[in-house]
Structure 1
Amino acid sequence: AAEAGDTDAQVNLGILLASKSNPPQLEEARRWLTAAARSGDISAQVNLGMLFASRWNPPQLEEARFWYTAAARSGDPDAQYRLAVLMLEKLEPPELAEGRRWLTTAAEAGHSGAQYRLGVLLAIEWDPPQLEDARRWYTTAAQAGHTGAQVGLAILLANQWDPPHLEEARRWYTAAARAGHTGAQVNLAILIATQWDPPELNDARDWFTAAAHAGDTDAQANLGVLLADQWDPPQLEEARRWYTAAAQAGHIGAQYNLGILLSERLDPPVLEEACRWLTIAADGGHLQAAHALERLRE
């Protein structure tokens, strides 16, 4: 059917060759997708753009842009979104204004990924930040269940808004945390452990633990801090376990905190292991670790 000019067959064959073959047959995939794309098939144009932007080595960004643009001008929101991401994240220098235009078009068509990415652009990358518009787009995507947007909205409300809207931030962090977003779990735990009055340490511990068990090193490091410095009485052995997990994964703050715990908090101190972790952290550029190491060696 593909040989006979059936564009659906050409697209399906191109996707199969690019994504399901082992090894991928990218040249053949390109041939079939190009045939369908030249016939005006929007799915072929989008998939050809993805092939050039993400699978080709080196990426063929101008080719990707050409095909994304063809589909975007036909009104395809996913193509509009992908074209905008290409402009914002892969072109050098980024084309912020044009990227914003395509994101806005896709966002207004209901593309939740575009709504989220537009929120990021306006809140973080735009100069000056456009927080009202960012909040509006984050909220639209968050209400549709986009966990990244829920987290972005919570960060905006807790850290960028004046005054902070902590209750609403907590609500959005919680929505994403319950959906399994480890970053949301960590941020929610930090919020209720450090910005809430009074701190809700039991809930913070639960959320840190959930993310820590999922392998999030920030969660492991923060759980260590909570157990060592905020818990009454301190849970030093459990803190040591979580610091160690994060330290072994390369978390420099955990390496430093583990060194301090071993040298200053445990009785008796475990100096050889403390020196080892402080050395690793100091070699990684942690100044406090270098100073602590000097004190230990005096």
Structure 2
Amino acid sequence: MNNVVFWNPPEAVLASMREDARAGDVDAMYVLGVLLTRDPPDLEGARFWLTQAAKAGDPEAMTSLAALLTDRVDPPSLAGARFWLTEAANAGNAEAQFSLGYLLASRLDPPELGDARFWYTRAAQVGDPHSQFNLAHLLLNQLDPPDVDAARTWYTKAANLRHINAMTSLGSLLLNRLDPPDVAAARSWFTRAADAGDAEAMVRLGVLLSDRLDPPDVAAARSWFTRAADAGHPRAARNLRVLRWKHRG
């Protein structure tokens, strides 16, 4: 969907697209379906045309239809979304593989972590940083026991592709899940994410500088807490006050 230019066409254009869609034009079915999800939405019409395009084998229509079924329909149709995402994922669509992994890991109760891991891995292996990040999160936080080494590998791959949350999460793994911790590497990744504007990384970097260094770098910690507070991070202002109390005088 993100690779296509969309706009708000006049009704005459929509009518022409409907004629093309009724004549079997799959592109018209898909674009019309997406346009009908926009304000004011016609979700019934969107579902109809996306379904027609999906049945014709369009993987982008399959993923868009799945998104509609999970996020726009009340109640959500997770079974329907899973069906279409599986169709698109089996066709090699990395976006569908990522979305299917997310549905299996985060939307089902109970989650199906084995299948989620499989689909995240498929997309991660072709270089999708979002799948790499989610796969690392699953390995570290959803598996029992966690696979810390594999999580580190995938966080690193995503971080090297400039995935900001992966940088922050990798820093936390290096600092809190290794024995002994790799404080220098954690500081480096927190700094990269903080420099990119991630307020959570700023806070974690401030904590590292104030609590995990010997001696602490109070001035640098204060600077990062201040920047995070200015960015609206909910814990930064309190951390800044605690830092001042700890090092008063």
Q: TM-score range by the shorter chain?
A: over 0.9
Aligned pair partner of 2:36 in 48, 52, 61: 52
Larger helix share, 1 or 2: 1
| C-alpha spacing 1:39/1:213, structure 2 compared with 1 (3 Å) | same
1:80 is aligned to 2:62: yes
1:47 partner amino acid: V
Partner deviation per Cα, 1:158-208 (whole Å, 9 max, x = no partner): 111121111111000000000000011011010001111111111111111
1:250 is aligned to 2:236: no
Cα distance in 2 between the residues matched to 1:43 and 1:196 = 50
1:211 aligned residue: 193
Alignment of 1:135-174 (within 5 A): 135-174=117-156
Alignment of 1:102-141 (within 5 A): 102-141=84-123
How far is 1:100 from its partner? 0.7
Aligned pair partner of 2:43 in 43, 55, 61: 61
More displaced 10-residue stretch of structure 1: 56-65 or 70-79: 56-65
* Moved beyond 6 Å, runs of 4+: none
5+ residue gaps in structure 2?
Answer: none
- The SS at the match of 2:235 is helix
| C-alpha spacing 1:31/1:239, structure 2 compared with 1 (3 Å) | farther
1:9 aligned residue: none
Alignment of 1:279-290 (within 5 A): none
How far is 1:154 from its partner? 0.4
| C-alpha spacing 1:85/1:229, structure 2 compared with 1 (3 Å) | same
2:176 partner amino acid: T
Highest CA radius of gyration, 1 or 2?
1
1:92 aligned residue: 74
How far is 1:25 from its partner? 4.0
Q: Which gives a bigger RCO, structure 1 or 2 (Cα 8 Å, sep 6+)?
A: 2
1:265 aligned residue: 246
Cα distance in 1 between the residues matched to 2:25 and 2:243 = 62
Partner deviation per Cα, 1:224-263 (whole Å, 9 max, x = no partner): 111111112111111111111111121111122112112x
How far is 1:33 from its partner? 2.9
2:216 aligned residue: 234
- The SS at the match of 2:223 is helix
How far is 1:36 from its partner? 2.4
5+ residue gaps in structure 1?
Answer: 1-14, 269-298
**Aligned-residue RMSD, C-alpha:** 1.6
- The SS at the match of 1:172 is helix
| Length-normalised TM-score, structure 2 | 0.94
Aligned positions, number: 246
1:37 aligned residue: 21
